Amino acid sequence: MENYVYSSPEMQEKIEAYLPRITEHRRDLLVKVVQNRTRHFCMVLEDLFDPHNISAVIRTAEVFGLEDVHVIEEVNPYKVNKSILKGSIKWMNIYLHKKRMACMEHLRKKGYRIAVASTNTNNSVLDLDLSQPTAFYLGSEFTGNHPDTLAAADCEFKLPQYGITESMNVSVAGGVLMCYLDHFMQQKGRQNFTLSPKERDELLLEWLERHLNDESASSSITRIGDE
């Protein structure tokens, strides 16, 4: 923690109270990972049918350092698939939304532009202005994103592809998309897209609490719009 700069003395006191209770390896790993976390991009999964696909995207998002994934379950409820997640959900924040339009409103209030995957556009993800905070929507395996979502989106995009097949598996598409996003951040300097010092400290404290209290995966899930 020698080179770690806390956002405030108060946060330093809270975090350092936990550190003697974890191994040096775990401490160094959490500190390294939290400093690379980003909310500049987030993934939004709209009414996916197969929980395997949702969990695969969540796991991939964790690997690429995206902290938040939003799941719209207006039609299909999400069921946690622990065998696919491999513990990744413990380090994520997952938001479950009952209504697609409420989800979009929530994201816009957070400052996100809405980019929706579509096979009916010529606009490549490479054509987007990725300097703007962007929420990337991936739709149902069978029907794609809902027409209301497409109509209300700020832009549509597709992934570059050169074969005859018009689409790829949604979890694979999510992984390919995140490769492009990661490449963009690397080119521009990932430090320009990571969490603010305050957000970073709050997340590190949250991770330490989850880890030490051995909380279940459900601790990382927030339901929005259940009323």
Q: Which amino acid is at 144?
A: G
State whether 128 and 203 are in the same domain.
no
Conformation bin of residue 105: beta by default, left when phi > 0, alpha when psi is -120 to 50: alpha
State whether 44 and 108 are in the same domain.
yes
Residue with tokens 């987007």: 128
State whether 61 and 149 are in the same domain.
yes
What distance in Å separates the CA atoms of residue 177 and residue 124, rounded to the nearest whole number?
11
What distance in Å separates the CA atoms of residue 137 and residue 135, rounded to the nearest whole number?
6
Q: Residue length, the chain?
A: 227
State pLDDT tens for residues 30-44: 999 999 999 999 999
The reply to whether 181 sits in an annotated binding site is: no
What distance in Å separates the CA atoms of residue 212 and residue 195, rounded to the nearest whole number?
23
208 within domain boundaries: yes
Q: How many Cβ atoms from other residues are within 10 Å of residue 200's Cβ?
A: 21
224 within domain boundaries: no
State whether 65 and 121 are in the same domain.
yes
Q: Which domain holds residue 86?
A: 39-193
Pick from 139, 135, 114: nearest CA to 69: 135
State whether 5 and 117 are in the same domain.
no
CATH number at residue 187: 3.40.1280.10
225 within domain boundaries: no
What is the reported pLDDT for 116?
Answer: 96
State pLDDT tens for residues 156-172: 999 998 998 877 899 99
- Report whether 47 contacts 71 (CB < 8 A): no
222 within domain boundaries: no
State whether 9 and 63 are in the same domain.
no
Three-state DSSP class for 41?
strand
21 within domain boundaries: yes
Pick from 104, 57, 103, 48: nearest CA to 78: 48
| The total number of structural domains that make up the chain | 2
| Alpha carbon of residue 26 to chain centroid | 22
169 within domain boundaries: yes
State whether 107 and 159 are in the same domain.
yes
State whether 178 and 87 are in the same domain.
yes
218 within domain boundaries: no
Is pTM beyond 0.85 here?
yes
227 within domain boundaries: no
What is the reported pLDDT for 226?
Answer: 60
State whether 5 and 46 are in the same domain.
no
State whether 60 and 21 are in the same domain.
no
Pick from 225, 155, 195: nearest CA to 31: 195
pLDDT reading at 210 higher than 90: no
